[in-house]
Amino acid sequence: MAVTKPSSGPDPILLTLFANRFMSVAEAMGRSLQQTSISTNIKERLDFSCALFAPDGDLVANAPFIPIHLGSMSFAVKYQMKLHGKELKDGDVLMTNSPHAGGSHLPDITIITPVFDKGTNEIIFFTASRGHHADIGGILPGSMPPTSVNIFEEGAEIVSLKIVNDGTFDKKGLYEYMVEKPAQYPGSSGCRNIKDVESDIKAQIAANHKGVQLITAIVDDYSLETVQEYMYHIRNNAENSVRSLLRDVVKKSGTNFLSAVDYLDDGTPIQLKVEINEEEGSAVLDFEGTGCEVRGNLNAPISVVHSAVIYCMRAMLNVDIPLNAGCLVPIEIKIPKKCLLSPSRTAAVCGGNVLTSQRIVDVVLKAFHACAASQGCTNNLTFGTGGKDKNGTAIAGWGYYETIAGGSGSGPGWHGTSGVHTHITNTRIGDVEILERRYPILVHRFGLRPGSGGKGKWNGGDGVIREFEVMQGMQVSILSERRTRAPYGMAGGEPAMMGRNTWVKQRRAEDSDIPEETSEEDMRPRHINIGGKATVFMGKGDRLLIETPGGGGWGRPDEGQFESTDERKHPWEARGSLAERAAAQAGF
């Protein structure tokens, strides 16, 4: 079926139709990836994203996956385009994870598939998927080491690998990059469960292929000219929506200049100044004043900064449009060189993608006076076994990774949500039943942390408590923030409670923590605050108690007309694309 090109502007019905058709492509890719993957991280936690990109590499449409992936994947697609140029052919698939090449952090592996026109053999679209793989090597199981000081300690780095060349899967190349190369660095190991990674990579390739089939079918139905025309109309619609938002901000605030600052737990500032051109509906976001690159892993690649900003722009829009590249057209982002938002080539970055990114979001929303601070953290937990022993011998093992929910910040007219993955994470937490069945772990507690949200006219959401016991000796690591600086309230609202990580350690003779003369009290477990970023070897029977931060309050508490905390509890029900996604999954 061919559709006549609109003579004057986009047809509103076709505009909505194509927006949903493009989104449905990404959703179908996501369902395919979830159903064919085998790892807990992708199959159950849904730590992946799928999206459709224009031939110039700009984001066209996505399903409601992980915002931190979606904003930065465009950088990865464009980097591969520059690297390979016109060398790509039908049957090629690219693989990358390097922050230098548009990646976020190393566990997030991006698979990119070009879509070719049948007649001209030119690239007309790209399909891409990014999944967080639970272990890609490095100094610790889970590949999210809280102690890393350079990128080599964080696992395999791949700038570009043609994982499928003319239809042939490069298994040897994958093994070389994932197992052999990371193990060359002192103290680092190769991937501890390469079979899982290989299987999930193939699932990503299959998901991309599903997207290729679907977008090709749309082109066959409507013609390439019409499809690409509406692709740009959708982008322009997002651009115009953001321009309107910026003009409204000036009218409501009465100023063209906005600013905000927040600090990481180590005191590093993230400074933002915003200058809005009301006439053009554009803005310059300048991060001048942000702290320099840090020795640890809280450095955030430029692509992650753009992800955070594009998410904020889309989140502040009261319009139902797909998140796409148009949201950033009116925005100029200035990032000073040598700061932690523009780190050097070898800087450690695994925490920047999951922690610093959350604080960037808080700072942007604070500058726009949109809402109080969220938990500002993702509470990254990893545990596992294997890797190199003291003699340098490689030992087979495994790794597990999850992020833990907290409280979201409240705003002018709403309470924060309790026990939720906030802002740009949007993943699930590991189900207790699956966790205990697949790993030597026993979950003792998992529930809300009452009273941890900031009080105000509108209360912040509460964090959660998650406590588990290890059933065998293993390395356990936590990478978290908001352990020394509380999530702030706004407009007179109170701050939320900070998070805390406590190791409940059993006393053992081999650890020399049993006194010679012991009493029953002396044999009670030790409670050790391990701080926000730590890795410990936990013996059988040890527990880790994680208490996550809440969200800040909005407005002075004495202004509130909601005296009972029960009044802020409303039954949650899925709406819009989330509900449609759940219904579609239930149909399989």
- The reported pLDDT for the residue numbered 427 is 85
User: Residue 320: its pLDDT value, please?
Assistant: 78
CA distances from 347 to 73, 288, 292, 378 (A): 20, 20, 12, 21
Residue 564 has pLDDT above 70, yes or no: no
pLDDT band at 66 (very low <50, low <70, confident <90, very high): confident
Average pLDDT rounded to a whole number, residues 265-287: 96
CA distance 32 to 209: 10
Amino acid letter, residue 196 = D
- pLDDT for residue 283 is more than 70: yes
DSSP, residue by residue, 490-553: BTTPPPPPPPEEEEEEPP-GGGT-S-SS--TTTTSPEEEE--SEEEEEEPTT-EEEEE------
Per-residue pLDDT, 560: 66
Average pLDDT over residues 352-368: 95
pLDDT of 575 > 80? The answer is: no
Sign of CA dihedral 356, 362, 366, 367: positive
- Does 576 score more than 80 pLDDT? no
Q: What is the pLDDT of residues 103-137, one digit of tens each?
A: 999 999 999 999 999 889 999 999 999 999 989 99
101 contact partners, CB below 8 Å, separation of at least 6: 75, 76, 79, 80, 83, 159, 160
- pLDDT over 80 (residue 75): yes
Q: Is the pLDDT of residue 549 over 60?
A: yes
Angstrom distance (rounded) from CA 277 to CA 280:
6
Q: What is the pLDDT of residue 92?
A: 96
Cα separation, 113 vs 378, in Å, equals: 30
Determine which of 63-72, 165-174, 254-263, 484-493 has the lowest per-residue pLDDT on average: 63-72
pLDDT at 573: 57
Supply 376's token pair.
């500002």
Residue with tokens 């909005």: 554
Most trustworthy range by pLDDT among 347-356, 388-397, 560-569: 347-356
Report the pLDDT value the prediction gives residue 4, as an integer from 0 to 100: 41
pLDDT in tens, 515-530: 776 666 678 899 999 9
587 class by beta-carbon count within 10 Å (0-12 exposed, 13-18 middle, 19+ buried):
exposed
Amino acid at 528: I
pLDDT of 583 = 64
Residue (of 70, 80, 145) closest to 106 by Cα position: 145
pLDDT band per the 50, 70, 90 thresholds, residue 487 = very high
User: Which contiguous run of DSSP H or E holds residue 443?
Assistant: strand 441-448
Instruction: Give the integer Cα–Cα distance in Å for 354 and 374.
Output: 14
Indicate whether 2 pLDDT > 50.
no
pLDDT at 476 over 70: yes
| Average pLDDT estimate for 540-566 | 83
Percent of the chain with pLDDT over 70: 92
- Cβ neighbors of 478 (< 8 A, separation 6 or more) are 146, 379, 380, 381, 382, 501, 530, 532, 533, 534, 535, 544, 546
Under 8 Å between Cβ of 550 and 407: yes
Q: What share of the chain is helix, strand, coil (3-state, %, to 5)?
A: 35, 25, 45
Average pLDDT of span 175-195: 93
For residue 5, pLDDT beyond 50: no
pLDDT digits 0-9 by tens, 422-469: 998 888 888 888 899 999 999 999 999 999 999 999 999 999 999 999
Q: Which of 317, 173, 193 is closest to 245 using CA atoms? A: 317
SS (H, E, C) 117-158: CCCCCCEEEEEEEEEECCCCCECCCCCCCCCCCCHHHHCCCC
Average pLDDT of span 562-584: 51
Least confident of 6-20, 425-439, 465-479, 488-502: 6-20
- Residue 570, CA distances (Å) to 45, 113, 416 in order: 25, 43, 11
Residue-averaged pLDDT of the chain: 90
* pLDDT computed for residue 579 by the predictor: 55
Residue 483 has pLDDT above 50, yes or no: yes
Q: What is the pLDDT of residue 389?
A: 72
The per-residue pLDDT for range 216-268, each reduced to its tens digit, is 999 999 999 999 999 999 999 899 999 999 999 999 999 999 999 999 999 99
C-alpha 469/C-alpha 169 separation (Å) is 40
- Exposure letters 185-220 (e unless 16+ CB within 10 A, then b): beebbbbbbbebbbebbbbbbbbbbbbbebbbebbe
**What residue type is assigned to position 128 of the chain?**
A
Amino acid making up residue 356? T
Nearest to 478 by CA among 420, 417, 528: 528
